[in-house]
Amino acid sequence: MRTDVHPVLTAALPRPRGPLSSAVVSLLRGGTLPPVDVTGADPFGADLAVALHTCYELHYQGFHDVDPDWEWSPELLAFRRDLERVFEAALRANVAAGSDVGAVLDGLLVEPVPGAGVSHFLRDDGEWWQFREYVMHRSIYHHKEADPHAWVIPRLSGQAKAALVAVEFDEFGGGHGDRVHAQLYRDLMAAAGLDTGYLHYFDDVPAPVIAVVNMMSMFGLHRRLRAAMVGHFAAAEITTAPSAARIVKAIERLGGGTDLTHFFAEHVEADAVHEQVLRHDVIGDLLDREPELAADVVFGVRATEFLEERFGEHVLTAWRAGRTSMPLPG
């Protein structure tokens, strides 16, 4: 189901959620960057998450009425660097270091608490409103699906580059615009009765899901973090197929048809293949060339696990209490 031929691909500036995000939004609206304390900010709070996402979005589709020249503003880039330092330091402090890539990837196939994830909840007990919330949450990434990973392509070489490009080719529809995964997600949103506008629900989603997208952007934009991006990509592909299969079952239990299941069914098949390509052809070749990057691959995997677990905990805590997982206004 096609929702549009030429979708709107820019968003309005987000609603600030504290002094950091207010400073960024104010600057992009033509103001000045007021002095704000970045070092004392909550690294996983909504304020830093929105501020960092706003900086990153200038490298994607940008915002309505924001001059494209802001993308390379030295002042804004310096502020983004300060935000990133707080965010990255907190990620590293919350995940265990290591260099055994195989063991870490194998560990993704073992559920810490069987049946306790968001997709399990949706499959077994989820209601229609909860499924719609999940779709809104994930739209913050899926509107730009695979875009952050494209930045790592020029940072790779040889078989690793060729194999990652092959995975991205699938993500971008194999040359067919109507099969681009971001388009398939817009089709899903339309079928669920949701607005398909680019980042339309950004102001409605909580910090944990924004942090996941910020991690991808940070890994993709920094060459020194190229192996962390590859680790993240592998982790995402390994865990997506079983999760997507459970969501297909959730939709079918709720009475939904193929217009709702198609996006997830596509990922069940594709990501099972992508997992093997990333494990052996991308990570394997990268580490054959640069074995010293093994610890960064592990960091990318574990940072992904950490942030996804935070997101899942936030959502399930709310749903099990019978309330929305969206943040309250204000």
Q: Would you kindly state where each structural domain of the chain is located, as residue ranges?
A: 19-93, 98-320
CA distances from 325 to 73, 194, 208, 289 (A): 35, 17, 11, 44
The two three-digit tokens of residue 34, written as one number: 């007021």
Single out the residue of 49, 48, 71 nearest to residue 58, CA to CA.
71
SS3 327: coil
pLDDT of the residue at 273 = 82
Element (H, E) at 45: none
pLDDT of residue 330: 46
- The model's pLDDT over 22-48, given as tens digits with 9 standing for 90+, comes to 999 999 998 888 889 899 999 999 999
d(CA 311, CA 120): 14
Give the three-state DSSP class for 176: coil
CA 195, 198, 204, 208: dihedral to nearest 10 degrees? 130
Buried b (16+ CB within 10 A) or exposed e, 12-29: ebbebbbebbbbbbebbe
Helix (H) or strand (E) holding 245, with range, is helix 226-253
Q: Are the CB atoms for 55 and 79 separated by under 8 Å?
A: yes
Q: Considering the entire predicted model, what is its pTM? A: 0.94
**Amino acid identity for residue 143 in this structure:** H
Element of type H or E holding 18: none
Provide the token pair at 194.
């949701």
pLDDT tens string 290-329: 999 999 999 999 999 999 999 999 999 999 999 999 986 5
- The predicted structure's pLDDT at residue 31: 81
Distance, in Å, from the CA atom of 215 to the CA atom of 224, rounded to the nearest integer, reads: 14
| Burial of 104 from C-beta contacts in 10 A (0-12 / 13-18 / 19+) | buried
Q: Distance between CA 12 and CA 152 in Å, rounded?
A: 27
| Residues 6+ positions from 86 with CB-CB distance below 8 Å | 38, 39, 41, 43, 48
Torsion of CA 278, 281, 284, 288, to 10 degrees: -140
What are the CA-CA distances from residue 112 to residues 41, 209, 313, 315 (Å)?
Answer: 30, 20, 13, 17
Structure token digits, residue 58: 């200038």
Answer for the pair 41, 48: CB distance below 8 angstroms, yes or no.
Answer: yes
Q: What is the largest CA-CA distance in the chain?
A: 53
The CATH code for residues 98-320 is: 1.20.910.10
Give Cα 125 distance to the centre of its chain. 25
pLDDT tens for each residue of the chain, 330 residues long: 334 444 557 889 999 999 999 999 999 998 888 889 899 999 999 999 999 999 999 999 999 989 999 999 999 999 999 999 999 999 999 999 999 999 999 998 877 777 789 999 999 999 999 999 999 999 999 999 999 999 999 999 999 999 999 999 999 999 999 999 999 999 999 999 999 999 999 999 999 999 999 999 999 999 999 999 999 999 999 899 899 999 999 999 999 999 999 999 998 877 678 888 999 999 999 999 999 999 999 999 999 999 999 999 999 999 999 999 998 654
